[in-house]
Amino acid sequence: MNQAELERKLYAAARADAPSERVPYAFEQRVMAHLRSQGMMDVWAVWGRALWRAAAPCLAITLLLSAWSWLAPGSAQNQDWSQALENTVLAAADQDATVETLW
């Protein structure tokens, strides 16, 4: 078998068989709908990215403030925790009492 001739004939067959240019019905609408939905999704993607970017600085600030409140001189470390909790919980009641005495 002449392989070079076989190859030539097969290439010629492929050339003669030009693929169809037929476009499926409503293909343009399909692409445009996809583009529009992608645009809407992009808004959420931007929002999501912004949230993720904000997460790291927020965490860093939280850690810094925690460290500061813990290590700063005269910080809560030296206080009586039970007293501090009681003051906080009863702050509203104390305030009311103060207001009533004023009246």
Partner 1 sequence: MERTDAELIAAVLKGDTASFEPLVGKYSPRLFATARRYARREDEVGDIVQEVWLKAYQKLASFRGDAPFEHWLMRLAVRTCYDFLRQHQRNREASFSELSQPEVDWLERFASQPETASEEAAAARQLIQRILEQLSPAARLIITLLEIEERSVKEIAQMTGWSVPLVKVRAFRARAEMKKILAKTAKEKYL
Catalog residues that contact partner 1 under the rule CB under 8 A: 1-3, 5-7, 9-24, 27-28, 30-32, 34-36, 38-39
CB of 6 to partner 1, least distance (A): 6
Least distance CB 4 / partner 1 (angstroms): 9
Pick the closer one to partner 1 by CB: 10 or 65. Answer: 10
Q: Which two tokens stand for residue 6?
A: 């076989």
- Cβ proximity to partner 1: between 27 and 70 the closer is 27
**Do 79 and 87 meet the contact criterion of CB atoms below 8 Å apart?**
no
**Residue 45: CB minimum distance to partner 1, A:** 13
Rounded to a whole number of angstroms, the minimum distance from the CB of residue 46 to partner 1 is 15
Nearer to partner 1, 12 or 76 (CB): 12
Cβ(103)–Cβ(97) below 8 Å: no
Structural tokens at position 91: 């702050």
Query: CA-to-CA distance for 41 and 82, rounded, in angstroms?
Result: 50
| Sign of the alpha-carbon dihedral angle for 90, 95, 99, 101 | positive
| Whole-number Å distance between alpha carbons of 49 and 15 | 49
